[in-house]
Amino acid sequence: MSVSNANFLLLRPFQVNNTEELDRVLEIAKNSLTEYYSPKLIVDLYEEWPEGFSVAEVHHKVAGFLIGSRYSSSEARILMIAVEKSYRKMGIGSSLLTNFIDLCMKKNFSAVRLEVKTDNEEAIKLYKKFNFEITSRISAYYSDASDAFTMWRTI
């Protein structure tokens, strides 16, 4: 099943004052990502760049999210992207990425950077599909001492 062009997939801004929504984002992060993210960090990241934080809603339920940041006037970063397991492989991650890259184009960024675990094949495949290239490896980047690839894409 693909939801990428279906009208039941809604991409919209994160609702920072909705505690249920914050809990849902934290739940997806906990189930999908290996690092721990506190509620305060999520809110702080939203406040740094509200437009860079989007959620994907399917049938009125948040199924995934993407948090971006503005590293400089020319470079944006993807800090987190996650889709709840039962909603994966339906195009939601691609829709979140497309939406973020469109935003970066509108804001005149010239590049987007991200870090990804070197063994995260699904995510690396997704990023490559979106023309991100591996440019370097950072050793012991994550709290479990695993390495990251840095990936870049020009806009």
Ligand X SMILES: CC(C)(COP(=O)(O)OP(=O)(O)OC[C@H]1O[C@@H](n2cnc3c(N)ncnc32)[C@H](O)[C@@H]1OP(=O)(O)O)[C@@H](O)C(=O)NCCC(=O)NCCS
Residue 112 lies near ligand X (rule: CB under 6 A) = no
Nearest distance in Å: CB 17, ligand X: 25
Q: Is 125 in the site for ligand X (CB under 6 A)?
A: yes
Nearest 5°: CA angle at 34, between 32 and 38? Answer: 90
The least CB distance from residue 125 to ligand X, in Å, is 4
Q: Which residue is nearest to ligand X (CB)?
A: 93
Distances (CA, A) of 19 to 15, 57, 58: 9, 16, 19
The one segment of 11-19, 98-106, 113-121, 133-141 that binds ligand X by CB under 6 A: 113-121
Sole binder of ligand X in the list 46, 57, 91, 100 (CB under 6 A): 91
Examine residue 123 and tell whether it contacts ligand X (CB under 6 A): yes
For ligand X, give the closer residue by CB, 88 or 107: 88
* Residue 48, number of CB atoms within 10 A of its CB: 14
Residues 62, 21 contacting (CB under 8 angstroms): yes
- Considering only 15, 120, 146, 150, the residue that binds ligand X (CB under 6 A) is 120
User: Which one of 10, 16, 33, 155 is in contact with ligand X (CB under 6 A)?
Assistant: 33
CB neighbour burial string for 54-77, b if at least 16 within 10 angstroms, e if fewer: bbbbbeeebbbbbbbbbeeeebbb
Nearer to ligand X, 12 or 73 (CB): 12
In b/e form, how buried is each residue of 7-44, taking b as 16+ CB within 10 angstroms?
eebebeebeeeeeebbebbbebbeebeeeebeeebbee
Site residues (vs ligand X, CB under 6 A): 32-33, 81-83, 88-94, 116, 120-123, 125-126, 129
